[in-house]
Amino acid sequence: MAQPSVRRTERLFRIAMLVKGVDGAAELLGAIALLLVSGDWMHRVVAQVLARDLLGPPDAPLARHLTGAVDDVTGGGRTFVVVYLALHGVIKLALVWALLRRWLPAYPPAVVVLGLFVVYELVHAWHTGSVLLPVLALLDIAIIVLVVREYRLLRRERAG
Is 77 within a domain? yes
Reported as a single tens digit per residue, the pLDDT across 87-121 is 989 999 999 999 999 999 999 999 999 999 899 88
Is 44 within a domain? yes
> What pLDDT does residue 136 have?
84
Is 17 within a domain? yes
**Mean pLDDT in residue range 14-42:** 88
pTM over 0.85: no
In degrees and rounded to multiples of 5, residue 134 shows phi and psi of -65, -30
**Mean pLDDT in residue range 46-54:** 64
Is 158 within a domain? no
CB atoms near residue 126 (< 10 Å): 11
Q: How far apart are CA 17 and CA 114, in angstroms?
A: 12
Is 61 within a domain? yes
Is 160 within a domain? no
Number of structural domains in the chain = 1
CB atoms near residue 135 (< 10 Å): 12
> What pLDDT does residue 9 have?
80
End-to-end CA distance of the chain: 15
Contact in structure between 85 and 28 (CB atoms under 8 Å)? yes
**Mean pLDDT in residue range 33-48:** 77
Q: How far apart are CA 135 and CA 1, in angstroms?
A: 36
Q: How far apart are CA 130 and CA 124, in angstroms?
A: 8
Higher pLDDT, 12 or 54: 12
Domain, as residue range, for 80: 4-153
